[in-house]
Amino acid sequence: MLLQTNSTATRYAAAATEYVAVDGISYAHRRVGKSTDLPLICLQHFTGTLDNWDPQVIDGLARERQVITIDNAGIGNSGGETPDNVQDMAKTAVSIITALGITKCDLLGFSLGGFIAQTIAITHPQLFRKILLIGTAPQGTLALHSFPELVGRAFSKPPAEGYLYLFATSSEKSREKIKAAQARFMERENDRDKQTSMPAIQAQIKALTRWGTDPVTLNLGSITHPVLIVQGSSDEMMNSASSVELFKQIPNAILTFYPDSSHGSFFQYPEMFVDEANSFLDKFM
Q: Give the CATH number for residue 180.
A: 3.40.50.1820
Instruction: Say if CB 68 and CB 98 are below 8 A apart.
Output: no
Stretch 136-152: mean pLDDT? 94
Q: Report CA-CA distances (Å) from 145 to 137, 150, 165, 189.
A: 13, 10, 18, 38
Residues in Cβ contact with 285 at an 8 Å cutoff, skipping those fewer than 6 apart: 130, 226, 252
pLDDT greater than 50 at residue 1: no
Instruction: Say if CB 114 and CB 141 are below 8 A apart.
Output: no
pLDDT greater than 80 at residue 4: no
pLDDT tens column, 12-67 = 999 999 999 999 999 999 999 999 899 999 999 999 999 999 999 999 999 999 99
Q: Report CA-CA distances (Å) from 251 to 56, 168, 228, 260.
A: 31, 30, 11, 27
Stretch 207-215: mean pLDDT? 95
pLDDT greater than 90 at residue 119: yes
pLDDT greater than 80 at residue 2: no
pLDDT band at 285; cut points 50, 70, 90: confident
Stretch 79-108: mean pLDDT? 98
Average pLDDT, the chain: 96
**Which candidate, 61, 21, 13, places its Cα nearest to that of 41?**
61
Residues in Cβ contact with 48 at an 8 Å cutoff, skipping those fewer than 6 apart: 75, 110, 111, 196
Residues in Cβ contact with 99 at an 8 Å cutoff, skipping those fewer than 6 apart: 20, 21, 22, 27
Q: How many domains does the chain have?
A: 1
What proportion of the chain, given as a percentage, has pLDDT over 90? 94
The domain in which residue 255 lies consists of 2-283
What proportion of the chain, given as a percentage, has pLDDT over 70? 97
Stretch 239-250: mean pLDDT? 97
Sheet with 105-110, strands from edge to edge, namely 2-3, 17-22, 25-32, 67-70, 40-43, 105-110, 128-134, 227-232, 253-258
pLDDT band at 8; cut points 50, 70, 90: low
3 state SS of 232: strand
Phi, psi of 33 (to 5 degrees): 95, 155
Distance between CA atoms of residues 76 and 15, nearest Å: 16
pLDDT at 82: 98
Stretch 118-123: mean pLDDT? 98
* HSE-up of residue 201 (Cα within 13 Å, Cβ side): 11
Q: Which residue has the higher pLDDT, 138 or 5?
A: 138
**Which candidate, 254, 20, 51, 223, places its Cα nearest to that of 127?**
223
